[in-house]
Chain A
Amino acid sequence: MKKRAMKSSLAAHSAPQIQAIERRLFLKQGLSLGALALLSGCELTEDGAVQRVLTSMSRWNDAAQGWLFNPDKLAPEYPASAITTPFPFNAYYGEDEVRAVDASSYQLELAGLIRDKKPWGLLELYALPQTSQITRHICVEGWSAIGKWGGVRFSTFLERIGADTSAKYVGFKCLDDYYSSIDMASALHPQTLLAFRYADQILPPKYGFPMKLRIPTKLGFKNPKHIAAMFVTNTHPGGYWEDQGYNWFSGS
């Protein structure tokens, strides 16, 4: 009923008048689209073509960082007096949502290009040769904090389980549903640890009990906590933040 009324009232206007209105509308919409595109990077980033360029630049930066990575270059270590207290909690969830993990039933699952895939219990992991480091944790947000982590060199563990170290990636799945992955060269770096301790104490839940990856040659979000499973692969595994647009390599 209403529609027909509108149609008839439109018909009352002459065709040139309507065309002029349409032209004005078209111009106005075109202008505001252009203004919107210029307004802020928010709109620019959401544009398909621009986002494709940015994503391929991020892949290029992965390659550049892989090339720049020197396996013999050690992250600076600090005296105990430099440790940041309290060491900040950080995760994709709040501190009140930290997962409680049962130590007695915990088992680290192994998959992928690994010779011996038997799961590891905590006591077996604690029995591996232990080392510690006081290094700077650098968050992608910009802040940094110095802490002391203890555990087994990741390269020792990879050797012990017969991992194919000629493969490209090591992926991690975590009990807090976080996931991440690193390149094999960084995995074999002497300061990359499977950490079971923070400040000489068993890793507290907020820092990733029962174990986290401590990798001072990468940004903080490449240090997954509460690790439940790890796998060796040649297929790019991505990560929780990486899949949302954060640079995958994220080397320091």
Chain B
Amino acid sequence: MNAAQQDRPAEWVQIHPLIVRIAHWVNALAILIMVTSGWRIYNASPLFDFRIPGALTLGGWLAGALQWHFAAMWLLAANGLVYVFYGIASGHFRRKLLPITFAAVLHDVLAALRGELAHGDLSVYNAAQRAAYVAIIVAGIVLVFSGLAIWKPVQLQELTALCGGYEGARLVHFFAMAIVVLLVLAHLVMVILVPRTFPTMITGGARRA
């Protein structure tokens, strides 16, 4: 134990390790760039009968949006690899995200909707959080692979075939994006409702309640 830790009040608990905090904020930036530039790319040839308002998009025009998208993809992928390898190798995922049971998720989601979900110990995720975090990790992985399938439908054609072909991969990519965006919005709402969770993602810890 070093001097800095000794100086802290006894009830100070570590909630998010440094590597998770760095990965979280790098990911937040990468996702913001990928989603907003992706929306501009979507507008060049919309899959559905709507376009994304230009003011919400990044890049100014298709070439600019593609430059942002294919630059930030390296940030997203490198950061995601570090996070997922750390999560598996260190036992972080197992400790924080497991176990998940359907009954517990249903119970906690209903409790959250009634505004009765307790957040006493921030170091332990409730079942609704665990489900949401696993879902966004899985959706993120699907986004990366369907994106590769669209980018390289010849060189990575086996992956493209797995996504249902080129046009299928575009749909998979779109819906995985929609899931990520919805989960991020829910995440932001929860941070606003339980604001003391916010500083923990910067400092890493909190005083035990």
Complex contacts, B170 vs chain A, CB 8 Å:
142
Count B-side interface residues using an 8 Å CB cutoff: 31
User: A57-B70, A69-B155, A245-B67 are contacts. A140–B36 as well, Cβ < 8 Å?
Assistant: no
* CB closest residue in chain A, given B160: A76
Q: Are A40 and B58 within 8 A (Cβ)? A: yes
Q: Are B60 and A55 within 8 A (Cβ)? A: no
Q: Are B57 and A41 within 8 A (Cβ)? A: yes
Q: Are B166 and A144 within 8 A (Cβ)? A: yes
Please list the 8 inter-chain residue pairs (A to B) with the smallest Cβ-Cβ separation, ordered nearest first: A41-B58, A245-B63, A57-B71, A142-B45, A42-B60, A141-B44, A141-B45, A54-B67
Q: A41-B64, A76-B153, A245-B67 are in contact. List 16 more A-B contacts (CB 8 A).
A: A41-B37, A53-B71, A57-B74, A61-B70, A68-B152, A69-B155, A76-B157, A136-B153, A138-B153, A141-B44, A142-B47, A142-B170, A245-B63, A247-B70, A252-B153, A252-B154
A2 within 8 Å of B (CB atoms): no
How many A residues touch the partner, as a band? 35 or more
A154 to chain B, nearest CB (A): 16
User: A40-B58, A141-B45, A142-B42 are contacts. A68–B155 as well, Cβ < 8 Å?
Assistant: yes
B41 within 8 Å of A (CB atoms): yes
Q: Are B153 and A58 within 8 A (Cβ)? A: no
Q: Are B37 and A136 within 8 A (Cβ)? A: no
Per-position 1/0 for A41-55, Cβ under 8 A of B: 110111000000111
Complex contacts, B154 vs chain A, CB 8 Å:
73-76, 216-217, 251-252
B20 within 8 Å of A (CB atoms): no
Q: Are B45 and A143 within 8 A (Cβ)? A: yes
Q: Are B58 and A73 within 8 A (Cβ)? A: no
* CB closest residue in chain B, given A57: B71
10 A-B pairs, CB-CB below 8 angstroms? A40-B60, A41-B64, A42-B60, A45-B68, A54-B71, A139-B45, A141-B62, A142-B41, A246-B63, A251-B154
A70 within 8 Å of B (CB atoms): yes
Measured in the bound complex, the distance between the Cα atoms of B63 and A241 in whole Å is 9
A191 to chain B, nearest CB (A): 9
Complex contacts, B40 vs chain A, CB 8 Å:
41
B121 within 8 Å of A (CB atoms): no
Q: Are A73 and B153 within 8 A (Cβ)? A: no
Q: Are A144 and B167 within 8 A (Cβ)? A: yes
A244 within 8 Å of B (CB atoms): yes
Per-position 1/0 for B48-62, Cβ under 8 A of A: 000000010111101
Measured in the bound complex, the distance between the Cα atoms of B75 and A102 in whole Å is 51
Q: Are B60 and A140 within 8 A (Cβ)? A: no
